[in-house]
Structure 1
Amino acid sequence: MNWLSDHVRPRIQRLVGERKDTPDNLWTKCRSCDQMLFLKALEENLNVCTNCGHHHAMSVEERLNSLFDPGYQRLDMPELPADPLKFKDKKPYPARLREYQSRTGEKDAIVVASGQMGGSPVVIAAFNFAFMGGSMGRAVGEGLVRAADEALRLNASLLVIPASGGARMQEGILSLMQMPRSIIAVERMREARLPYIVLLTNPTTGGVTASFAMLGDLTLSEPDAVIGFAGRRVIEETIREQLPDDFQTAEYLQDHGMVDQVVSRLELRDRLVMLFSLLRNVPGSPASTSNGTQQADETDLPVMQEDEPNPSFDQV
């Protein structure tokens, strides 16, 4: 045995050359059709299966790169007190935050960036489901407010891309307060008549669904995304009925009027460019006059009486 290992094997290795290490992450299996996929080809196809079209999870950075024109900038988020409730489950909340920050490289579950999309100014607020399930706490609420503020400052459109399990339990009532905060931020966009589009991704549930995620001028979704408030099992046990197999899917919600369009990720950027262009050119909107595509004077604006509420963007 020593003769084989000491003499024969080295001679064979010299003849055939040293074996090059092969990375173990070259291939991945589609979660829908079980087809083996070359990882690089999958990433180049925006993480959409080339065999069945299943939309795999996408990192925030990949999503921003796929939508923005080159040269977008991230917005800095303010530092917030880490643990106002002194919450502890299996580990203290600050330790859990540090764990996910180290794992994802992000401060929290939302990233806000501004740039151009098809030459038009857009602010994007994208959720990171890998960070504590995309749960909405104070940092996420602050991110949504910052995104709306930046869109108003730049006279830009706002695109929000939720992927969340709902409010963050470790922040208790403070996380639930982000629901009305986000609604107010959206309402400010509506009052300014600036486009606000929501792109629902898998999954979008809980308090996120019950607040800003269903208030877009247009609501889009990726295929097969799970969208709902309570879980399927909870609903079935409550109403004591069997729900349809496609219940709480993007396609089901589109059929029932909750989603405007289900759009493949491969077509998403072009679709968003078109929709933002249409919304920004609505007569009387500030965006239509600022980008030079339409010059409107005060006579183009709807005449409002003092006791009338400000019209929503989709009523213009």
Structure 2
Amino acid sequence: MLNLRQQVLEAIYAYQIRGVKGVNAVYLIGFFLSVSFYLYSRRGVERLLWALVSSLIAGGIVVSYTRTIWAGTIAALLAMIVLLPWQQRRRLLAGMAVVTAVFLVSGWIVLGSSFPVVMQLIANRALTVKSGAKVASLIERRDESIHVLKLLRQPDIAVAGVGPANEHVYYDSYLGTTVRSRFVHNGLLALMFKFGIPLGIFIYGFHLAMVAKSIRCYIRSRHTRWEPYVLPFTLSLIGTTVMDWTTNAFMLRSGALFLAMLYAGVAIADRLIRQDASQRSHRNSAFAAPLSIHPTGSGTP
């Protein structure tokens, strides 16, 4: 049993190194894009296809063994349940129940007596967040954040940041030694540390403004042709914001490109929704004009 447990852990971490690390956001938008098409597809075959795709991606997220993407996905799912209209919300909850049941049954059939071991590993990984004092990665990131906050108290760093020379040395209480690093895992702290507090807060404020804009954009897109496309961008921004508190996306090239893509998607969707609203307004005005010239019952000479 212990040998099996070790083999499962080694397989998961090998998969992480070659797979999930660095592409968490791609999993996120792929999952919510397929879920959105599942919710809004009218044909049964298409809905079944998107349900299968979203189930496969969800399985990849689960076996990724990465708490960061778990937290981002759960936060975005909760936001999705709140934002969705009742019909789509009911379909989502029913689909989640079916997928969970199929996942458990399939896992039991494929893994047999080993299935409880794998599920216990996943559960332990998720529950370690509650006991952060015993988890190496959480201790290291806590020590890192405390050290960066102390550095930000220095006037020169607080105003202008450290720029390209963003290397810092802090004491890792878990390893019992000093660690030299050029990366800050918390997104907001990383921005303030690199660019200074004023500019860092400005950049992060822009990101939060885009998150708020995406939510407003989705609410305006309800019952329009753009709703299935706006929803994944909104949820991906929400999930990425949560993930950014433990895995900084702003300082990674792939993360910055992904955020830029989400910002562009929200801006384009907002423009298209405004254009549709303007066209509807013009059509309504054109339809109402003849009625105002010849009101009903007034007669004509």
**Normalising to structure 2: TM-score of the pair?**
0.22
Structure with the bigger percentage of helix = 2
Indicate the structure with greater strand content. Answer: 1
Indicate the structure whose relative CO is greater, using CA pairs within 8 Å and at least 6 residues apart.
Answer: 2
